[in-house]
Amino acid sequence: METSCLGIGAMGMAEKIDLRPYCERIGFSGELRPSVECLRGLHLAHATHVPFENIEVLMGRPVRLDLASLWKKLVEDRRGGYCFEQNTLFAAVLEQIGFPVRRLAARVRMGAAGITARNHMLLAVEAGGRQWLCDVGFGGQALLHPIEWLPGETASQFAWKYRLMEEAPGYVLQMWRPEGWLDLYSFTLEEQHAVDYEVANYHTSTHPDSFFRKQLMVDIPGPEVRVTLVGRRVIERRPEGASEVLLADDAAVLETLAARVGMHFPEGTVFALLEPTSFQRRIEYPLNIGDVDHAVVVQVVIRGHDSERFVDDELHVRDAGGGVPCHGAGSAGDIEVGGNGERGVH
């Protein structure tokens, strides 16, 4: 089969793709034809070679979804990306090979309460006369192989287990954890178009509350272990549990990205919002400031080397139910009155 031809790109326009550099990038040497074997091989190779990452967002750069930009970033520059980038490129590759592809959107759950936005991209692909769920862009929980469309059946993928469940009006993808089945995301079969992803991508990459703007996140899944870098924390996840190491400094982050993920950046590169000793916690407590009592939801930002004990020089929170004493005037201890008249800690 021709590896370089004029095909239909992921954004619905004619794009020329040379599949040879792509196959080299992901370490795939199999035959390129619209078969189940090829689909499984490409999916596994892509998922284990192209990392999930949010570096463009942290650096304040726009996340482009046109095929030329994705090709340069993910293939030529050997970088990674998040779902819109990875699954857009993967869909274009599959279509050029001859696979019928339908682009879908999902609401990520991962323990979230309530309805979340439709801000995840996934694919429904036909191969061997059957339908398959493909997703190479879901970070630390990403599929290694596509899942055949058999709701209720467990799909074992090396050390990991997934299943697709029916839930009106669509489906839920679940992953097995030691504590039970975890909902990853829900979705319907409504086909998505370029404009749908452009809107979701803009919201994900620019909204102040998007967690992609909070800290560095890099994931690379593997058959037995999944490596995740969150800020300066390196987390290795296995089916039986996870271990974690805190890197010493920004130089160690760059070394880890090069050694564990295969991404190289100039010496001295610092990723914005990289604060490993800072964290936010949302707590609901009586708030006592002076002679004023309020029962409010408090958003507390803790900074300092002792932050894991929920104590630092600027703010001390006592969780015995008797109030929230506040000390000092630093950024973690400023008291403000919101527009609703309630007071908060920011």
Return the active site residues: 83, 120, 135
CA–CA gap between residue 247 and residue 257 (Å, rounded) = 12
Instruction: Compute the distance between CA of residue 66 and CA of residue 84 in angstroms, rounded to an integer.
Output: 10
Please give the torsion angle defined by the CA atoms of residues 215, 220, 226 and 231, in that order, rounded to the nearest 10 degrees: -20
Give the containing element (helix H, strand E) for 69.
helix 67-70
Contact partners, residue 111, CB within 8 Å, separation at least 6: 182, 183
- Residues 143, 79: Cα–Cα separation, whole Å: 19
Count of all residues that appear for the chain in the document: 346
Contacts made by residues 308-313, CB under 8 angstroms, sequence distance 24+: 310/281
297 torsion bin: left (phi>0), alpha (psi -120 to 50), beta (else)? beta
Tell me 212's DSSP state.
G
Give the C-alpha separation, 122 to 136, whole Å.
Answer: 8
CA distance 72 to 330: 44
Q: How far is CA 14 from CA 11, 84, 89, 106, in A?
A: 9, 19, 14, 26
Token pair belonging to 110: 């991962």
Q: Residues with Cβ < 8 Å from 270, sequence gap 6 or more?
A: 250
Q: Are strands 130-134 and 147-148 parallel, antiparallel or unpaired?
A: antiparallel
Phi/psi at 196 (nearest 5 deg)? -65, -45
- Asked if residue 164 lies in contact with residue 204, where contact means CB atoms within 8 angstroms, the answer is no
